[in-house]
Structure 1
Amino acid sequence: MAEAVLDIDGVRAFVRVVDLGSFTRAAEALATSQAAISLRVKRLEDRLGIRLVDRTPRHVAPTPRGARFLPAARRLLDAHAQAVSDLTGAPPPRLDLGISDHVAGPDLPARLARLGFDGAGLVAEVTILPSRALRAAFGDGRFDAVLVRDEGEEPGGTVLATERLAWFAAPGFAWDRDDPAAGPLRLATLAGPCNVRAAAETTLDAAGLPWREVFVGGGVLAVGAAVGAGLAVAALAPSTAPAGLAEAGARLGLPDLPVTRVVLHARPLRGRAAEALRALAAAYRGPNAP
């Protein structure tokens, strides 16, 4: 049997399909068409003589043999990027990226590693800040790109996903909105300026419900810890809520929170930085994005 010669574009397409769970998102990340991605993966499968990906209309996942091939495929891509970098002798490109704490989510480190941000050929500097601070810094030229969460009040950018905020509390947290003796609703919030914090306070005021801040955290994980300890409730995006918290709006009789958008603002980028940003945007893109 002749030795299979792997095509680097096919390997890259396979890895992106697995990482993003979608041929469509892989095509977005690699700036090509879904048909081209399907063809690249099919040619790779033909060369290897095995099926790498199971495809159904609603599910894309590696086959058992595809999962075994995946670590070697990642190493091949890293070696390829390093070889190109060594050949050119140029310093690795940089990507100065800002991500809102209400977008990042607890799985951000794993997501960045999975998408190759730790691979050869790119230096990524990632800063976590509130959305309003990120937008201002981006306007001042501080970042190459920012991922923020807003309620549609800001023009420009690319909408990656829409999501309704929700109230989260510990399972044992109790508050009766109809009992004056219960006192104001206890809130845990992110330090301002913060769009989610403002949305929570505005929603409670519009419903005529008393509230008071009892915890202000420097990040979503800190807010989640306070909520998990039963100190307060918090308005959070379900996609970024820390593990162990439960949606409690219906149980506590709290009003619906607004729908928010995950928006990407980016400057023109090229090469490895542009590819990495496309992959990250595809990873955050929701099924209900425009």
Structure 2
Amino acid sequence: MTDHPLDLDAVQAFVRITELGSFTRAAEVMQTTQAGISLKLKRLEDRLGCRLLERTPRHVELSARGAAFLGHARELLAVHDRTLAAFASARQRLTIGISDHVAGPELPALIARMNAQDAQLLIDIRIGSSGDLLQSYDRRELDTVIVRLHAGRTDGKLLTQERFGWFAAAGWQHRVGEPLPLATMAQPCGVRALAEQLLDTAGIPWTEVFVGGGVAAVAAAVVAGLGVAALAPRMLPLGCVDVGPKLGLPDLPRLPVLLHSRVREGRAREAVDALSAAFRSAARN
């Protein structure tokens, strides 16, 4: 058995497929093709003499032998990473800015995914408005930013297009004849500006009843029944409802989420790719 050692790339491919639940997403993280990932897995399965994953058109599931091997695979990769880290001169720092409208409740899981990619990488994450983060990125204060599309910018890599709606607490009622009460982010905020512009164009009177310093504060105001906010569904607790159709409010467009990064190679690039793939996965759910 020891005459033919395991291929670490193949072991890593197996772990990535298992974690992401997709050959395609694993290929994105490992910067290869789906065919390349499939070949790595087949090579590993041939070496071990058993099937590790059961594939269906919609799902990828561990086989019984695959479940038994997963812990050993992770331990093998961890030992490999610790060995390399022991000879590294210093921890590399990766500074990432994420828009408050983008970060969402999945952020802890995304950070965990990045740490799993490289536990020796020092990850520095800043949360702020898209405009402020892009300015910091242009000043080279940030290595990477994930932000909403910003007026006047045509650069960046599209990660996803996210749906928005006019959300209020369940049971909230708009008082007839009164301006629409809005809970908004503090300026500058592109989503706030877009929502107010759409209401003005539609001739719908509105008034700000709450201004929050972050999406969490705006979501709390919605849950408290203060009024309506233009937010992505994943930003709100269960029970909030989209009142746009009922109130005849203008449709909000799908808003793009873009990645701007000057990191091109090495451990930091692998971490950025892992974050991008994990975020696309979270945004689709």
TM score, norm. by length of structure 1: 0.87
- 1:45–1:29 Cα change, 3 Å: same
1:151-170 maps to which residues of 2 (within 5 A)? 153-170=152-169
1:23 to partner: Cα distance = 1.2
Name the CA shift for 1:121/1:269 in 2 (closer, same or farther; >3 Å). Answer: farther
Aligned to 1:211: 206
1:114 deviates by 2.8
Structure 2 gap ranges (5+): none
What residue number does 1:137 align with? 136
- SS state at 1:116 partner: helix
Q: Map 1:1-290 onto structure 2 (within 5 A).
A: 2=1, 5-63=5-63, 66-67=66-67, 69-87=69-87, 89-116=88-115, 119-150=118-149, 153-175=152-174, 179-180=176-177, 183-285=178-280
Paired residues, what number?
283
Aligned equivalents of 2:106 and 2:251: distance in 1?
Answer: 26
Distance 1:46 1:198 in 2: 57
1:286 positional shift: 6.8
**Structure-2-length-normalised TM-score:** 0.88
Per the alignment, do residues 15 and 222 of structure 1 end up closer, same or farther by CA in structure 2, a change over 3 Å counting?
A: farther
SS in structure 2 of the partner of residue 37 of structure 1: helix
1:100: Cα distance to partner?
A: 0.7
1:131 deviates by 0.8
Alpha-carbon distance in 2 for matches of 1:38, 1:191 = 47
SS of 1:147's partner is strand
Equivalent position amino acid for 1:174 in 2: Q
Q: Distance in 2 between matches of 1:35 and 1:173?
A: 51
- In structure 2, distance between residues paired with 1:49 and 1:122: 35
Percent identity for Structure 1 against Structure 2: 52
**Structure 1: segments with no counterpart, 5+ residues:** none
More displaced 10-residue stretch of structure 1: 38-47 or 272-281: 38-47
For the 8 Å contact 1:224–1:245, the answer to whether it is kept is no
